[in-house]
Amino acid sequence: MRLKPQVHLPRHITKWFPAAIWRIPEEDKKVVYLTFDDGPIPSVTPWVLKLLKENDIKATFFCVGENVFRYPEIFEQIVEDGHAVGNHTYHHIQGLKSENVSYFKDIEQANHLIGSNLFRPPHGWLKRSQYHFISQKYRIIMWDVISCDYNQNITKEEVLNNVLKYSRPGSIITFHDSLKAEGHLRYALPKAIAELKKQGYEFRKIEFPKERRLFNPVHRQRLQKLRQTIRQVRRWA
């Protein structure tokens, strides 16, 4: 398959991070993994969850800690619907532009709420030193195909084509449940699901059974307390 730089990260970058997960191919199985970055967002994520439920699909959501703090009830719904969750930092900061210690603290701040051993760096960029440190605790999940749904300089049809043309067995496909991507996402995601199903693909969430369980009771208790606090603040406002 000929790679498209805007859809696939360049090969030299994948070589920098050899332990990161780029694809999950299984012999003789047509499986793809839908992933969603940057949520949860009230006007977008519930729509995605509804669409996935209607199609009996489990996916993986790489959540921004700040958004989990703002909308804990949506995050809880993601988990209750049986999807996997991953850490996408607390403030959606880029590793290359961040000092290492502050970057690691931001990740741990997010993990305090998200409670996952899956991590995806915003924009897909990390320093080598960050990669080596983070990979000691987290499974770094990258992607095989990025839809570019966030890109306002391409059409919604091009977003759909990015997914359908370049997906292959084992592909990790990235969409964004964000305001910036919403218009393209609402067009491309239903059509991509329908066409990939037609082609015989199965959809799975990303999980590693031997790893520690995601979203343990401690994290659930934290979110429940957070949700109660937010309700009180809203009543007082």
Determine whether 149 is an active site residue: no
For residue 19, tell me if it sits in a domain. no
Radius of gyration of the chain (CA): 17
Supply the range of the domain harboring residue 36.
29-236
Give pLDDT < 70 ranges for the chain.
Answer: 1-14, 209-237
For residue 6, tell me if it sits in a domain. no
* Helical pair 182-198 and 45-54, crossing angle rounded to 10 deg: 10
pLDDT of residue 108: 94
pLDDT of residue 1: 42
For residue 146, tell me if it sits in a domain. yes
For residue 8, tell me if it sits in a domain. no
Catalytic one of 37, 144, 149, 177 = 37
For residue 33, tell me if it sits in a domain. yes
Catalytic one of 8, 83, 88, 176 = 176
For residue 60, tell me if it sits in a domain. yes
For residue 147, tell me if it sits in a domain. yes
DSSP-H helix ranges across the chain: 11-16, 45-54, 65-70, 72-80, 100-114, 128-134, 156-166, 182-198, 217-236
pLDDT of residue 78: 97
pLDDT of residue 79: 95
d(CA 188, CA 151): 13
CATH number at residue 119: 3.20.20.370
pLDDT of residue 15: 72
Alpha-carbon distance values, 155 to 27, 143, 178, 188 (Å): 34, 21, 17, 10
Number of domains in the chain: 1
Amino acid, res. 177: D
Q: Which residues pair with 60 in a beta bridge?
A: 35, 84
pLDDT of residue 96: 83
For residue 22, tell me if it sits in a domain. no
pLDDT tens string 52-79: 999 999 999 999 999 999 999 999 999 9
d(CA 203, CA 194): 11
In the predicted model, what is the mean pLDDT of the chain? Answer: 88
d(CA 7, CA 180): 18
Determine whether 37 is an active site residue: yes
pLDDT of residue 2: 43
